[in-house]
Amino acid sequence: MQRLYVPATVANLGSGFDSLGAALNLHLQVEYRPAASDSFLYEGEGRVENDGGNLIHAAVRAAFSRLGQEPPPLQIHALNPIPLARGLGSSAAARVAGAMIADRLLDGKLGREGVFRVASELEGHPDNVAPAVFGGVQLALQEPLLHVSLPAPEDLYFVVAVPEFELPTDRARAALPREVPFADAVFNLSRAALWPAALAAGDLGLLLEASRDRLHQPYRLELMPGAEEALSAAHERGYPAFVAGAGPTLAALTADPVTLRGIFDAYVSTGGRLLTLTLGKGAQWKAT
């Protein structure tokens, strides 16, 4: 029996809106087998309908359709520890899993690049998909669709503060303005460009500056009670901290996770949780 592991991801990293993302060592696990009709068994975070309309089956169908073929009926079993609607790439992980299953059934005709294309088209943006497929820290562009791996030190931890409340991506995107000041665009461009050098150096001071943002976080923080105070506290102590994807989760980089966890305690005090994670690898099959 083979089981597919797809990592959770954190996107944007502050200044890299819709273009930067990192894989985390928290994995959606999926098994499949041929069946008389599509069926789906879900275990884990949140609630997902146990039917063939789920994101994994949908991605299988999309991948087969790309090659002009019909997929066989599948029984899919998903075990998911990734919180839903929290900004940790749960939908990207599901779509990557479905495309990876299709690639295996199609004898590798898609390849990882094809999996990346299918899942990115379904997601609508590639910032979570690229690290979910390829691992590590990724720069991804939507037009043209491409990805580049960025250097990253192995001794940094992600401390992830997951609150109890959800924030659907469509609501978080609706909070964004249609236009931004020219100065804010320049501010973000310079800091997004700083990420590769800051990662290569493993310099927390440079990473802190690279993580600052004016394009999306100021607008989304209004939907996340207590998040602005938590980010400010992390920044004041020199930690690179940012909204994970569309939120409401917050994430920060550190070499000392014990100290940083205390800064986020108030944000997750009512039913949330703190996770200490490392940089993850891309989607992979393992024997069970």
Ordered domains of the chain (ranges, CATH)? 2-150 (3.30.230.10), 157-277 (3.30.70.890)
Query: Which residue in this structure is represented by tokens 């910032």?
Result: 127
Strand partners, 253: 158
Residue environment code for 117-146, b if the CB has 16+ CB neighbours within 10 A, otherwise e? bbbbbbbebbbbbbbbbbbbbbbbeeeeee
Name the pLDDT band for 52 (thresholds 50, 70, 90).
low
In this prediction, residue 271 carries a pLDDT of: 81
User: For the whole model, what pTM was predicted?
Assistant: 0.94
Closest CA to 86 of 175, 10, 6, 177: 10
Mean pLDDT value of segment 1-8: 91
In this prediction, residue 288 carries a pLDDT of: 72
In this prediction, residue 40 carries a pLDDT of: 92
